[in-house]
Structures are given as structure tokens and as C-alpha cells.
Amino acid sequence: METIEKLMETFYGEVYWSSLENYDEVMSQIVGFKEFKQELRNQIEVAERRKKRGRKPPQIFYVLLGKPGVGKSEICQRLAKALKRPILIINVGGMEHVSELEGKAPSYSAANYGKITSAYVDSSVLIKYNVKDLEKEVKKMKDRDISEALILLTANYLSAVPDFVKDRCKPVNIELLTYQQRLEVLRFMVEEMVVENDIEDLKPLISDNFLKMCITETWGIRGGINNLVATMDFLELMEVRKVANEFTDLADYDDY
């Protein structure tokens, strides 16, 4: 509990919200998560009104509740895109002391910067063409106030959330996806994955029948996504071996 308390204190402050137009554009591509998407949209509407009146938008800590594999982490990443904000995922599961977040002084054994600072360092990539641009980017990093971050906690069940967190957070249920919604998610991810893996010409091999085979019997979407990732690796291997053109539909490939 001390770890989560410290994390909430660190990120307490004003939150920068994106425009409704950008939020709606990104979220319209996301299947499911109805309650969560509507809750965040409501906050953006209120934030825009308060900004016009010179008032600070409120900082709200959300606890996303849902069974393992339903997509809690995935929706957080999509939200970052919708708000045009970077995302840092810090796993506090099993932490018993705040030093893992804050870091340990060099005088101690196993000294480190802490997970918050490390996350910022690991995710900060500077690619610029001239020194002047680089100087500007570095200055932005120095001036960045992490209190403007939007913090989202995740848990499988509300009963597992400490009372301290319950008193300070707003729970939002991440509902289970229906079978049809899972299929839609995989269809969307195929579009992204074939581009990322540079195998767009092999997309016709991934039929709806094959995607249905990827869907697992568990309650989450994670298993289906993992199967799709494995499929992309397989197709890339077949492309390297120059035998991908021997397939017409992966659903008919018994050895896969």
C-alpha cells in the first residue's frame, strides 16, 4: 500500500487533456471498453470547459477492473495515443517498499534510479538533425512536470484493491469482449501487424476462418493476440524461406 500511495502522491497535479476530436478519432477504432471510453470522454469535455474559464482540470486516479487478459493494459496504450501523450507502464505488483519507485542512493547496495526515473530515461529517444533542435528537446525534458501525468491503476477485482486506494480512486469496469468483438479486434490488429512486419502482400492468407481459430476459450483477448503474433512470426519465416506463395489460406494449413 505504501508503494501505491507514493506513486499517487508523485503524480498528483494538473492533467493535460487532448481535444475531443482527436480522442473520438482514435477511440472510434477501438472495439469494446464502452464504460471506460465514455468516462474519459466526459472528463475531456469538463477539462475543455474549465480551461476556457482559467480553472485547472482535476486529477482523477482510475482503477481499471477486469479479469486477466481482457485488455486493461491495451486500452491504456490506446488512451495515450488518443490524448497524444507518451505512456510509461510501471509494474508495482509485489512491491513492498517505495524505494523501488524512488530509487536507492549510491551509498546503498543495489543502488538504482527507481522505476519512475528509469521509465522516463528508457522511453526518451532523441533523433534530431541539428544541435539547435536537440537543445530544444533537452530543455523540454528538463521542464517536463511529471505531476501532469494521468495515472491509471489496474486490478483484477475491487476486493483486491487496498482501502487507501479505494478512497482516492474511481473504479471503472473493463467489460469482457463478446466473441464478435474479439474477432473485430483481431481483424484490426492484422492491419497493423502486416505493416509492422512488412508482409502486407501476405495479408490475404489470414482469413476470418483463421482468425476464429486464433480466438481462445479464455475470457480475455490476450490469447488471441498472442496467437496472431505467432502467426506473423511464422509468415515472416515462410517469406524468408521463399515458400509463402505456396499457401492460400492459413486456416487450411494443417501443420501450422
The gap from C-alpha 15 to its chain's centroid, in whole angstroms, comes to 18
72-82 and 20-27 helices, crossing angle to 10°: 140
Domain ranges, ordered by start, for the chain:
2-173, 179-252
- Whether the Cβ atoms of residue 172 and residue 65 lie closer than 8 Å to each other: yes
pLDDT digits (tens, 9 = 90+) for 175-196: 888 899 999 989 989 999 999 9
Hey, which residues does 170 pair with through a beta bridge? 62
Whether residue 2 has pLDDT greater than 80: no
pLDDT digits (tens, 9 = 90+) for 39-92: 888 888 888 788 888 887 667 788 888 888 888 887 888 777 777 776 666 665
- Residue scoring higher pLDDT (232 or 86): 232
CA dihedral 58, 61, 66, 68 (to 10 degrees): 130
pTM for the predicted model, two decimal places: 0.62
CATH superfamily of the domain spanning 2-173:
P-loop containing nucleotide triphosphate hydrolases (3.40.50.300)
Whether residue 102 has pLDDT greater than 60: no
End-to-end CA distance of the chain: 46
Cβ-Cβ contacts under 8 Å for 234 (sequence gap 6 or more) = 256
The whole-angstrom separation of Cα 237 and Cα 231 is 10
Whether residue 123 has pLDDT greater than 70: no
> What pLDDT is stored for residue 13 in this prediction?
42
Q: Please give the DSSP secondary-structure letter assigned to residue 168.
A: H
- Whether the Cβ atoms of residue 2 and residue 97 lie closer than 8 Å to each other: yes
Burial class (CB within 10 angstroms; exposed 0-12, middle 13-18, buried 19+) of 180: exposed
